[in-house]
Structure 1
Amino acid sequence: MALLVTAVLAFSITGAATAYTRLQSNITSANVVDLLGDDRPEQAATPDPNDPNAGQALNILLMGSDVRDGENAEIGGDVSGMRSDTTIVLHLSADRTRADLVSIPRDTLVDIPACARSDGTTSEAQDGQFNAAFSIGSESGQVSDAAACAIRTVEENTGVFINEFVVIDFAGFTRMVDALGGVPICIPNDMSSPKAGLELTAGQQTLDGVTALAYARARTGTGVGDGSDTNRLGRQQQLLAAMVRTVQSQNLLTDLPNLLQFLNAATSSITASTTLASIPNLTGLAFSLRGTASSNITFMTIPFAAAPSDPNRVVMTDEADAIWAALAADQPITPAAEPVAPVDPAATPDPSADASVEQETPVPGKDAITAETVTAVCG
């Protein structure tokens, strides 16, 4: 979102041709349409060939890859293969007034369809854990094939047409956070996760790139939850919302050097679908999103329950069907907010309240947050 909102001024107004070329070369483009088959959900609208995004709701699959080669191995350790433990469906409404981001737990049991790969091989259809789809596609060694299998799996299990995709790795994420000068966020309790390399004390903190990645990845340790993947999803959403707030609070639009530094970081280590990998298309989309209010940027985890066959896995519930149907129909996924009663300044604070409590697991589908309401400052 930060990249889309700021890119338009970087190029349309400054005309920075050298920077344009550099940023365009940062993004790896991948056309996976031929790998997705003909049995896809119905698309909401037919794109305008002169403006692929005009008047059309967009669903973009965002995936964080933990591929562990090169610089990524230095951050997360050298491990073979590719996995995507963080997957979010980003929905942009046709009128560009609303953005909904829905997290899919990696441990969700789903139907994984047969996936074609660019090397000519095809996997067999199977039942399995959601993040297995990315690994199955990646057996060709291509990130784009991994993304295509993940898209096929999302469409198969949700009925939502996925227009575009973006995959970012560890290094790209850390560079983007560092380019912002870190992300201010309220840490509700002390956190220690030696496996993820995370040590944080309760209170207001500004996370650098490496620490932000550890904060998003941590599952085991003290103060990080129950060790499950589903527990850390709410933390990841809080972090992304804080990043949106950070970008909106900085005067990047009038500070060209810092803007270009941020955009260079944001486009590094990214593999994206052909349309999103085109800077002109990205710029057009950025311009259309200029009026999106932070109160209309909603983060949610898809409703789920423990799987009857395995308590360590989850399944999407009937409530999830309603969320996916809303996205497919370009409707809000949360009801209109109730008016908040004003706080009485003369009211006596509750002395028993303790801001440094163990963070609770958000209720999937119900504890949705927005980029406006997420706590950025303790207290």
Structure 2
Amino acid sequence: MLRGTALVTVALLAFGGTAVYATYARLTNNIRQVDVSALLGPRPTPSAVVAAGDDPNAGQDVNILLLGSDSRMGENGDIGGRVTGGMRSDTAIVMHISADRSRVEMVSIPRDSLVEIPSCNTSTGEKTNTSSRAMFNEAFARGWDTGLDLESAAACAWLTVEKNTGLVIDNFALVDFAGFEDMVDAIDGVPICIPVDLDDNKAKLHLTAGYQTLRGKDALAFARSRHNNASDGSDIGRIGNQQRLLAAMATEILHKDVLANWTQLLGLLNAATRSITTSMSTTDIAGLGYSMRGVRGGDITLMTVPWGTPADDKNRVEWTSEADIVWANMAADVPILDGTSEEPEASATPSATPSASATPGATATPGKSATPKPKATRKAGREAFTLDDSTASCTQ
């Protein structure tokens, strides 16, 4: 879900928006930092050591893998319902920050995407299985089930993204349920347009159409909901709601006085940092955030990776050729929509979308070497929007 994106994005924007970045030491103990470098294999040469509070990647573009955990332990279990066995990631978003710090682009990867999963190193010394065609969120699950720790899970998701996109990921961040609620409440709720009445008993969501200011519990329910009366039950539909909510949150922070309200700002940063597990240090987050202080709503783009429905499985997602352009542009540090189609093709309406019954662990049938082409395509041009776009009038 969006919680990983929201918390990390907001932390960066908040650090960058005011001189509060200089107080990062007060928040250091909140963030759980983990080192996954030993599990990733050879990496690009790191940048020179910089002073505390400086941008650790000055002059270079940065790619951060944002993950949302569906851990149901402790307070998270009280919120999302308790389940037994392991940890899974229900959200993955690649966040790209341009080298000149003028653009932020976030591309959601549906958890049901069929991708190649490499064999990953784990903390136990065992390697995970490889698959030529399996659900994307299986990578995180395999790392966890084999290594029995977050480091192994995050490293396998990290390597899987690199394998399928051609990108170099610089860091990851994972966030939980409870922190998302706390962050929304820290800014006194998020104004958002609800186009139609929404009811979802599983997510405990009941909203009427029109402008609403969602508090923590309702905001989380809106982000989690995929069984409401206006949804097809798919992960794709839920991603759209998550992106709208993230845009509304970031817009609220950028366009309100949150960054100038010391009480709200500290509450926001405290909630964000308490919920983050990351490969980044607090000083790195502070330095990177401060370097982004010029970013505005129109500079932040959100989209879902262009996808279609595989011919052999209507409950899965397959990336299209448009996705290749998006990832190549991101790797080249140019706007991700350069060279993509502005309008969908005539056949661009999906005949089916991933169903709620999709389960992790689906792998390719032995002996199948060819990847079936998608039946339908959703083009990049239709899926992307900026924060400024998200402030359009509330119409049904």
Taking structure 2 as the reference length, the TM-score comes to 0.82
Which sections of structure 1, spanning at least 5 residues, go unmatched?
A: 337-361
- Aligned 1:177-326 pairs, distance under 5 A: 177-223=184-230, 225-273=231-279, 276=280, 278-326=281-329
Partner of 1:340: none
Alpha-carbon distance between aligned partners in 2 of 1:297 and 1:203, rounded to the nearest angstrom? 25
Q: Output the amino acid matched with 1:32.
A: V
SS of 2:390's partner is coil
- Aligned 1:146-165 pairs, distance under 5 A: 146-165=153-172
Checking the alignment, whether the CA contact within 8 Å between 2:90 and 2:137 is kept in structure 1 is yes
SS of 1:59's partner is strand
1:329 to 327, 332, 340: 332
Alpha-carbon distance between aligned partners in 2 of 1:375 and 1:256, rounded to the nearest angstrom? 26
1:368 to 357, 360, 384: 384
Q: Output the amino acid matched with 2:321.
A: D
SS of 1:299's partner is strand
Alpha-carbon distance between aligned partners in 1 of 2:274 and 2:161, rounded to the nearest angstrom? 26
- Aligned 1:63-212 pairs, distance under 5 A: 63-80=67-84, 81-126=86-131, 127-139=133-145, 140-212=147-219
Checking the alignment, whether the CA contact within 8 Å between 1:302 and 1:320 is kept in structure 2 is yes
Alpha-carbon distance between aligned partners in 2 of 1:332 and 1:264, rounded to the nearest angstrom? 32
Alpha-carbon distance between aligned partners in 2 of 1:67 and 1:10, rounded to the nearest angstrom? 34
CA deviation profile, 1:25-81 (whole Å, cap 9, x unmatched):
11110111111123x7xx5x8623325210110000011111000000000111122
Deviation at 1:104, TM superposition (A): 0.4
1:378 and 2:394 are equivalent in the alignment: yes
Identity of aligned residues (%): 49
CA deviation profile, 1:176-223 (whole Å, cap 9, x unmatched):
111111110000011111111111111000111121111111111312
SS of 2:141's partner is helix
SS of 1:160's partner is coil
Deviation at 1:364, TM superposition (A): 5.2
- Aligned CA RMSD, in angstroms, stands at 1.9
Checking the alignment, whether the CA contact within 8 Å between 1:219 and 1:227 is kept in structure 2 is yes
Deviation at 1:363, TM superposition (A): 4.4
Checking the alignment, whether the CA contact within 8 Å between 1:184 and 1:376 is kept in structure 2 is no
Change in Cα spacing, 1:164 to 1:369, as seen in structure 2 (3 Å) is same
Checking the alignment, whether the CA contact within 8 Å between 1:112 and 1:153 is kept in structure 2 is yes
Alpha-carbon distance between aligned partners in 2 of 1:364 and 1:226, rounded to the nearest angstrom? 20
1:31 to 23, 35, 50: 35
Change in Cα spacing, 1:285 to 1:21, as seen in structure 2 (3 Å) is closer
Checking the alignment, whether the CA contact within 8 Å between 2:167 and 2:327 is kept in structure 1 is yes
Partner of 1:354: none
Q: How many residues align?
A: 341
Alpha-carbon distance between aligned partners in 1 of 2:324 and 2:334, rounded to the nearest angstrom? 13
Alpha-carbon distance between aligned partners in 1 of 2:393 and 2:87, rounded to the nearest angstrom? 36
Checking the alignment, whether the CA contact within 8 Å between 2:322 and 2:379 is kept in structure 1 is no
Alpha-carbon distance between aligned partners in 1 of 2:79 and 2:164, rounded to the nearest angstrom? 33
Change in Cα spacing, 1:185 to 1:11, as seen in structure 2 (3 Å) is closer
Alpha-carbon distance between aligned partners in 1 of 2:35 and 2:233, rounded to the nearest angstrom? 37
CA deviation profile, 1:236-272 (whole Å, cap 9, x unmatched):
1111111110111222333222211110001112100
Which sections of structure 2, spanning at least 5 residues, go unmatched?
A: 1-8, 340-376
Deviation at 1:335, TM superposition (A): 4.5
Superposition misfits of 4+ residues, deviation over 3 angstroms: 8-12
The farther-off stretch of 204-213 and 295-304 is 204-213
2:12 to 4, 7, 31: 4
Checking the alignment, whether the CA contact within 8 Å between 2:253 and 2:259 is kept in structure 1 is no
Alpha-carbon distance between aligned partners in 1 of 2:93 and 2:321, rounded to the nearest angstrom? 19
Alpha-carbon distance between aligned partners in 2 of 1:231 and 1:333, rounded to the nearest angstrom? 22
Partner of 2:5: none
Q: Output the amino acid matched with 2:388.
A: E
Taking structure 1 as the reference length, the TM-score comes to 0.85
Partner of 1:347: none
